[in-house]
Homo-oligomer: A and B are copies of this chain.
Amino acid sequence: MKIGKDISAQILIEALPYIQKFNNKIIVIKYGGNAMVDERLKMAVMRDMVLLNIVGIKVVLVHGGGPEIDQMMKKLSLESRFINGLRYTDDDTAEVVQMVLAGKVNKQLVSLIQQNGGKGIGLCGTDGDILQVQKLEAEEDLGFVGNITGVNTQPITMALDNGYIPIIATVGTDEKGQIYNINADTAAAEIAGALKAEKLITMTDIVGLLREKSDEESLITNVDIFEIPQLIEEGIIMGGMIPKVESCVEAILQGVREAVIIDGRMEHAILIELFSNEGIGTLFYKN
């Protein structure tokens, strides 16, 4: 299909109220899942970031990078061990996590931002003490998995105020220099909360919450956070979705206006979410 220039202009104009709505607001994006694996999607996400940035929306990207860590672990003949879906992080693993997230994934994303004419700055939790961490106390010991005890937003707002897109890898160090692996959903939520962001967008590999499993037509578009316990009980929120939803709730309780879980497998999902009336995925809010 060939789109005429007049229709293009029309579409730009239709984006106007959405641009106005989010102008000068902070949007935190938890980047992950398929959108981080597929090269084409990756490029599309970075382009979305650059576009949002240039139209005056302050975007912050927070990322983990499980698959890349796994791969490097394998190359280094280190064993990846998981406890309840969470990576057990011994000293060697912590080093690999830091190296891969902050040195490989993070810098590649910054490079993609730059390739699209944007200005990116790659940081991790250690830089400027963005994420203050302690050992996460869990029923079963997870090793050096970090619990965020504080967020220093100053390096992030410094970057935003100077026109940079901050790209943040979720790894940090404590005051003794011990490296900690940090859950990216939690980190994004804490960062969004500390920044009093307008929106937290979590990219996943599902369409959203479905009332009927595998019927995409049954998508639940809006959820007041007080309904969540009921949805968990009904099994509509389950498994790996539970902590993701809990991060959304946490962010909202800390002052983020709304949080949304979107399908990162769709090209330009972020733009579609922000620049259409209905948005996509499942939106969480608090009345």
Contact = CB atoms under 8 A, between A and B. Distances in A.
A56 interface: yes
Contacts of A271: 9, 12-13
Contact of A55 (B19, B108, B112, B114): B19
Contact of A158 (B111, B154, B162, B275): B162
Interface string A104-132: 10111011101111011111101111000
Contact of A11 (B12, B104, B107, B127): B12
A225 interface: no
Integer count of this chain's copies in the complex: 6
A8 B11 contact: yes
A238 to B, nearest CB: 28
A168 to B, nearest CB: 12
Interface residues of A, number: 75
Interface in A1-23: 1, 3, 5-17, 19-20, 23
Nearest to A19: B54
Given A56-B56, A268-B9, A272-B5, A129 B114 contact: yes
B128 A47 contact: no
Contacts of A266: 6
Interface stretch (A95-103, A213-221, A228-236): A95-103
A155 B159 CA distance: 9
A103 B69 CA distance: 13
B123 A121 contact: yes
Nearest to A48: B13
A94 to B, nearest CB: 11
27 contacts: A5-B280, A6-B272, A9-B268, A13-B268, A16-B47, A16-B50, A16-B51, A16-B117, A17-B117, A19-B54, A19-B55, A20-B50, A23-B54, A54-B56, A55-B55, A75-B76, A102-B103, A103-B104, A107-B127, A108-B177, A110-B127, A114-B129, A114-B173, A114-B175, A115-B175, A115-B177, A119-B128
Interface of A: 1, 3, 5-17, 19-20, 23, 44, 47-48, 50-51, 54-56, 75-76, 95, 98-104, 106-108, 110-112, 114-117, 119-124, 126-129, 154-155, 158-159, 162, 164, 171, 173, 175-177, 266-268, 271-272, 275-276, 280
